[in-house]
Amino acid sequence: MKKITFMMLFAVLAAMSAYAQGLVASFSADEASVPYYQMGWDTADEFATWTYASTSYETWKMGNPSQPFQSIDPSSSASMVLTYSGNQHETATSPAIEIRPGSTLEFYCYASGIFLVYGAWQLYAIDDGGSTLLIDQFQWAQDQGYDGPSWERFTVDLAPFAGKTVQFSFVYEGSYGEDEAIDGFKILESNAGDDAVININEGESVHFRDLSTGDVTDRRWTFEGGTPASSSEQNPVVTYDKAGSYTVTLTVGDGTATDTKTRMGYVNVSAEAPVAHVGIPDGAYLSPWVMMFVPVDVPLTFKDASTGNPTSWEWTFDGTDVTNSTEQNPTVTYLVEGTYGLKLEVANEVGSSIDEYTSNAIQAGGEQEIWNIAPEENADLMMMEMGWYGNYAGTNWLGMGEFAEHFDAPLATAEIPQVNVYFGKTTASSTDADIEMRIMTVGDDGMPDQVLGSTSVKAGDLAYDPYIVNATEFVFDEPVVIPAGTEFFAVVGPFPNDYGDDIAILLCRRGEGEKCTGYHFVYDEDENYNYLETGTWYQNVDDPLSLAVAPLLSYRTTEPSGINEPVVDKQVLSHTYYNLAGMASSKPFDGVNIVVTRYTDGSQTATKVLR
């Protein structure tokens, strides 16, 4: 007992010493706030503080959608809901609220995104200056690619309304649109005080600020539920991936004494519905013409790349040994050469989402062009022009003589009969100059090493058309064999750089630290700045990119009849455009399209188009 008493006394004396020296632990966060207006529509009295106007028998009322708001706030008993019907103009308007500086509006909405084109709400702020549109639900859904249904959080910065008295009005207009539910309506004020809390969604980050006083020489943060879980930085940034209420502790010291500040339940993280996304399996190739290209008779592990912490997975595969799977990352094998579809549905306690690809999305076996550019990047292909110095991946006067694109190893032995290169500029005065294409191994230093095969094309024969896909084909006399498990490079160049030469390969540029498969060779110079034959290869990590260089890779063991054979003496019935996700349209998409032309005799052809 005496020992415990002594320890308690020692702790008190240490704390008194810390305060005597002015050492006081304190912290806040940029996201800290205090709500000064809240509406949950949980009781009749609360519901009646808003006003409602209706033009039909369906109006805003208390109720619950198929997924109650309890998945976000367990204390919630009801929401403000609206059932769609014909020709509606339904409003729900808040009382007048005086907006304080540093305020943010937050609320949640539950709706499916399918029929918002027929009916959706708009949120307005109404003050003595008139009405201001804050959010258009339909436009938001278009911008986000939202399908739902799930509870989604909306936030609005109210800085333009600071010091004003404002009413907020949800106006639903349309005919046979969507059922709607709204809940968790709050107006919050930024606040660093002890009553402040942080409200975020899963996956969001908090920017902490050390506000301690005294001669702080060291600090130790502890973040329950956060990543990182601890830090010695002065102002750390912490990400919270799981729903819950979490404590934050900061201990500071001056070399002699310490002081600690703990905030219980300071960070409150709400669950969110997952967004399904199929990850590319290791060993699968991206392609200009299909979502992915894979071999047959080789196991592939598909990756769940969904966001929002799903707790269940439903995979549906075509053409594999496993038709359905509930594993997060299932392993399957494609059995027969062909093109197939794929679907992934994920869910958690808040909602669900589907990522689905139709039957032309995945090619198993056969032959196909491969490259390192994702479907969503196709519309961003460009040239890298360097002013007077010419072009990256083309004619230039910087001593960059050759350019290489790195490719991962195939999962099965493959052949490359040709490499297709997509140019953005092909002006050549040196028309007889040979532009060489080589398939090369990867050396121990990670750079191009041994030549496996080579061919060339005259500069005057480079292909380019601004309206259709028109690749330059570098065809080998004999297909280049790539053994299973062997990484390789496609190396092109040198390019002529006489007066009048202006050649550039298309490429996809990325941000710092992102995927980079592009390399370049820089010639050495003598004392008079003349280029020598020797030089050094570099990966372009300073400006990460991938070149529009696409080897035609063949896993084929037998030759099937192609779908691109021309059809003659037939009348065109229709054109349908497909993007690489399998979506169809009567008009072309930005980027790569596969145009399916149907004829009056029932046959069809497929043509590649880059818009």
Closest CA to 421 of 508, 323, 550: 550
Residue 112 has pLDDT above 50, yes or no: yes
Residue 339 has pLDDT above 80, yes or no: yes
**What per-residue confidence (pLDDT) applies to 584?**
61
- Predicted confidence (pLDDT) per residue in 524-539, tens digit: 988 887 888 889 999 9
- Going from N- to C-terminal start, the domains of the chain cover 33-190, 203-272, 284-365, 375-554, 572-610
Q: Which of 280-284, 421-425, 566-570 has the lowest mean pLDDT?
A: 566-570
From its phi and psi, is residue 572 left (phi > 0), alpha (psi between -120 and 50) or beta? beta
Residue 611 has pLDDT above 90, yes or no: no
What's the CA angle centered on 338, arms 334 and 340, to 5 degrees? 70
For strands 79-82 and 103-111, give the pairing. Answer: unpaired
In contact, 273 and 309? CB cutoff 8 Å: no
Per-residue pLDDT, averaged over 359-382, amounts to 91
**What per-residue confidence (pLDDT) applies to 501?**
93
Cα distance between residue 208 and residue 188, in whole Å: 18
Cα distance between residue 297 and residue 556, in whole Å: 12
**What per-residue confidence (pLDDT) applies to 444?**
95
**What per-residue confidence (pLDDT) applies to 505?**
96
Name residue 610's beta-bridge partners.
592
**What per-residue confidence (pLDDT) applies to 11?**
46
DSSP code of residue 262: E
**What per-residue confidence (pLDDT) applies to 211?**
85
Closest CA to 307 of 267, 376, 255, 353: 353
Residue 565 has pLDDT above 90, yes or no: no
**What per-residue confidence (pLDDT) applies to 579?**
64
33-190 and 284-365, same CATH topology? no
**What per-residue confidence (pLDDT) applies to 266?**
93
- Predicted confidence (pLDDT) per residue in 20-52, tens digit: 458 999 998 888 888 899 999 999 999 999 999
- Predicted confidence (pLDDT) per residue in 165-194, tens digit: 999 999 999 888 888 999 999 998 887 778
Backbone angles phi, psi at 298, to 5 degrees: -130, 125
- Taking domain 203-272, whether its CATH number is 2.60.40.10 is answered by yes
**What per-residue confidence (pLDDT) applies to 317?**
95
- Burial of residue 474 (CB within 10 Å: 0-12, 13-18, 19+) is buried
- Predicted confidence (pLDDT) per residue in 195-254, tens digit: 888 988 888 899 898 888 899 999 999 999 999 999 999 999 999 988 899 999 999 999
Per-residue pLDDT, averaged over 377-387, amounts to 89
**Helix, strand, coil % over all residues of the chain, rounded to 5:** 10, 50, 40
**What per-residue confidence (pLDDT) applies to 84?**
86
Query: What is 284-365's CATH number, 2.40.30.40, 2.60.40.10, 1.10.3720.10, 3.30.429.10?
Result: 2.60.40.10
User: Side chain identity at 289, as an amino acid letter?
Assistant: W
DSSP code of residue 379: G
**What per-residue confidence (pLDDT) applies to 70?**
85
Q: How much of the chain exceeds pLDDT 90, in percent? A: 60
User: Side chain identity at 72, as an amino acid letter?
Assistant: I
Per-residue pLDDT, averaged over 154-159, amounts to 92
Of these ranges, 57-66, 130-139, 344-353, 527-536, the one predicted with the greatest mean pLDDT is 130-139
- Residue 106, token pair as written in the block: 């937050």
Name residue 390's beta-bridge partners.
396
**What per-residue confidence (pLDDT) applies to 416?**
96
What's the CA angle centered on 273, arms 268 and 279, to 5 degrees? 115
In which band, very low, low, confident or very high, does the pLDDT at 293 lie, cut at 50, 70 and 90?
A: very high
User: Side chain identity at 283, as an amino acid letter?
Assistant: G
**What per-residue confidence (pLDDT) applies to 605?**
66
Q: What is the CATH number of domain 33-190?
A: 2.60.120.200
Distance of CA 318 to the CA centre of its chain: 25
pTM, two decimal places: 0.63
- Residue 588, token pair as written in the block: 């072309």
**Hey, is 76 helix, strand or coil?**
coil
What's the CA angle centered on 516, arms 495 and 237, to 5 degrees? 150
In contact, 502 and 391? CB cutoff 8 Å: yes
User: How far are the Cα atoms of 96, 111, 181, 201, 603 from residue 80, in angstroms, in the given order?
Assistant: 19, 12, 6, 21, 53
**What per-residue confidence (pLDDT) applies to 379?**
82
Please state which architecture CATH assigns to domain 375-554. Answer: Sandwich (2.60)
In contact, 438 and 491? CB cutoff 8 Å: yes
- Predicted confidence (pLDDT) per residue in 433-481, tens digit: 999 999 999 999 999 999 999 999 999 999 988 777 789 999 999 999 9
Name residue 592's beta-bridge partners.
610
Mean pLDDT score of the chain, rounded to an integer?
A: 87
**What per-residue confidence (pLDDT) applies to 533?**
83
- Predicted confidence (pLDDT) per residue in 391-431, tens digit: 999 999 889 989 999 999 999 999 999 999 999 999 999 99
Cα distance between residue 524 and residue 531, in whole Å: 6
Cα distance between residue 301 and residue 280, in whole Å: 9
Write 231-236 long-range contacts (CB < 8 A, 24+). Answer: 234/210, 235/207, 235/208, 235/209, 235/210, 236/208
